[in-house]
Structure 1
Amino acid sequence: MKSMNKLVAVFAVCVLMSALAGCLGSDKFAQEVEKEKGAVKLVREVQRGNYDIITTEELKTLQDKKADMLIVDTMPFEESYKKEHVPGAKQFLFPIPDMVEWDVKATDGKTQEQFVELLGPDKDKLIVIYCGFVKCTRSHNGAAWAKKLGYTNVKRYPGGIFAWKGAKYPVDSVK
């Protein structure tokens, strides 16, 4: 009788664990599919743009070492950059959709020459370009255009201001 009770208890635990695994696992599997889509999209953008990427921690380390670099925030000035941006970042708006041809309207009236002026004459200087978050493609456009214009040391910071704030690093604003 005791062994029968143990067997029933083990069986009940197994059924419960299977049910929980099925319920929990299905969400985890669906989440993984979404993560995969995002990761593949990012990799394909990086390949298309021929630039590199940099993590939040790597960018913060470079800042702490006072590395010679230019950080470019590609978000809208009023809605984003003015309120908060990575310390030391300069603002230059890029659109979300792929910008194959230079579009003055999409860059808030700014020209390709103004972008080159911002990036500077040193084509080998480290340039880090970011936007809001991983799925935002403004930074892809900015990094891809920097590469098209002959800059060699271009990195996209895909985590953007959301990852920067998520790491609890300080932000600047325009007063």
Structure 2
Amino acid sequence: MLPLITRTELLSLMEAGTVVVVDTMPVAYFDKEHLPEARNIPGFPYEQAAEFTDRLAASVLPDKAAAIVVYCANTPCRNSEFVGRRLLELGYTNVRKYREGIEDWVSGGLPTHCSS
């Protein structure tokens, strides 16, 4: 299991500009709504999470030492776990998971962005 980060901790890092946030939802969901400045590496369907991560990680996350936080929809969603674990296997050294995901972010009244 990936180390976890809370909404408050993530917000602080985002405000400081010291974290790269990765949305692991499918592209259509990412385009509809995501955390500010988030990048997208889809983790669903689960069977393709490693393939998507392998294909996109180098361009989306060029710095393997960067502080990275992955998230998906909510606590039961497993996308972020699949993508985060694969990032560790690819040599990324500072990956954490915002387990509660975008549902918690929105319920906390925090802003989101859309790509369209």
Task: Tell me whether the two structures share a fold, i.e. TM-score over 0.5.
Answer: yes
Aligned AA (1:95): F
User: Given the alignment, which residue of 2, 21, 34 partners 1:71?
Assistant: 21
User: Given the alignment, which residue of 52, 65, 74 partners 1:124?
Assistant: 65
Counterpart mapping for 1:63-142 below 5 A: 63-67=14-18, 69-78=19-28, 80-95=29-44, 97=46, 99=47, 106-107=48-49, 110=52, 112-120=54-62, 122-142=63-83
1:96 offset after TM fit, Å? 5.6
Structural RMSD (CA) = 1.7
Counterpart mapping for 1:9-24 below 5 A: none
Report the CA distance shift for 1:56/1:96 in structure 2 as closer, same or farther (over 3 A): farther
**Which fold has the larger relative contact order, with Cα–Cα distance below 8 Å and residues 6 or more apart in sequence?**
2
1:169 aligns with 2:110: yes
Bigger-Rg structure (1/2): 1
1:144 offset after TM fit, Å? 0.2
Query: Structure 1: any 5+ residue segments left out of the alignment?
Result: 1-45, 100-105
Matched pairs, number: 115
Aligned AA (1:52): P
Moved over 3 A (4+): none
Question: Which TM-score applies when normalising by structure 2?
Answer: 0.89
Question: Which TM-score applies when normalising by structure 1?
Answer: 0.61
For 2:56 and 2:12, how far apart are their aligned partners in 1? 29
1:110 offset after TM fit, Å? 4.0
Among all aligned residue pairs of Structure 1 and Structure 2, give the percentage whose two residues are the same amino acid.
Answer: 31
